[in-house]
């Protein structure tokens, strides 16, 4: 995600992940922007505005942590405590 634009494929990936995994009653709080429900999050991603970019960045960081094994390592270290 270089520059100001979110590639359409990345938007589609994050939207699909949100649609599949986020219950409709759950809300996400993003700093001073308040709470967003599933539909509002998807609209921000589709627009590609600053809130949408933050949502995409968070989801992509999580997916990269899973893919690299960092998430599993972190979870394992917590279990060892």
pLDDT at 55: 94
Q: Is residue 33 part of a domain?
A: yes
**Structural domain of 14:** 8-80
% of the chain exceeding 70 in pLDDT: 91
Q: Which tops the pLDDT comparison, 38 or 80?
A: 38
Residue 75 lies in a domain: yes
User: What average pLDDT score do residues 30-56 get?
Assistant: 92
Q: 1 in a domain, yes or no? A: no
Per the listing, tokens 């308040």 go with 34
Q: Phi and psi dihedrals of 36, rounded to 5?
A: -125, 140
What does 12-73 look like in DSSP terms, one character per residue?
HHHHHHHHHHS-TT-EEE-GGG-EEEHHHHHHHHHHT-HHHHHHHHHHHHHHHHHHHTHHHH
Report if residue 60 sits inside a domain: yes
Does residue 25 lie in a domain region?
A: yes
**Number of folded domains that form the chain:** 1
Residues 69-79 have pLDDT tens digits of 887 777 778 76
Encoding tokens for residue 80?
A: 């060892």
């Amino acid at each position: 995600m270089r520059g100001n634009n979110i590639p359409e494929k990345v938007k589609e990936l994050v939207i699909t992940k949100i649609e599949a995994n986020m219950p409709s009653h759950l809300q996400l709080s993003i700093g001073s922007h308040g709470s967003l429900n599933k539909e509002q999050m998807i609209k921000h991603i589709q627009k590609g505005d600053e809130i949408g970019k933050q949502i995409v960045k968070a989801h992509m960081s999580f997916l990269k942590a899973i893919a690299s094994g960092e998430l599993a390592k972190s979870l394992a270290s917590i279990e060892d405590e």
